[in-house]
Structure 1
């Protein structure tokens, strides 16, 4: 699927999220990568073979801390 040089990581690769964007729909909360992975804004993923990768945000992401 990927036409980039060097080739983007495959959908089975641990760094699959580094592939180039093919389509981006932030208002709907998803993006399609050139390796066929659907990447969701909650960090979940749908792989081309139908496997689901659960959201994997780092703990504490998005929390605001205030200095005391």
Structure 2
């Protein structure tokens, strides 16, 4: 999908979320990245092959 230089990381790579956004729908809570990855505002993801990556929010820390 990525046609610019430098190419975006692949959708299944460790830096997949750093690809360029090609469509953003914040009112619906999702964006499509250049590598075919759909990212959701809850940090979940949908890979181009249909696999789902569950939300991976950092755990909240409690200040003492």
1:4: Cα distance to partner? 1.8
- The aligned counterpart of 2:26 is 26
Report what 2:40 is aligned to.
40
Aligned-CA RMSD value: 1.6
The alignment partner of 1:22 has SS state of strand
Q: Which structure's CA Rg is the greater one?
A: 1
**Deviant stretches of 4+, over 3 Å:** none
Inter-partner Cα distance in structure 2 for 1:4 and 1:12: 19
**Which digits, 9 at most, give the CA deviation of each residue in 1:26-64, with x for residues without a partner?**
000000000000000000000000110000010118x9x
Unaligned runs of 5+ in 1: none
Q: How many matched pairs?
A: 63
Helix, strand or coil at the partner of 2:11: coil
Aligned to 2:49: 49
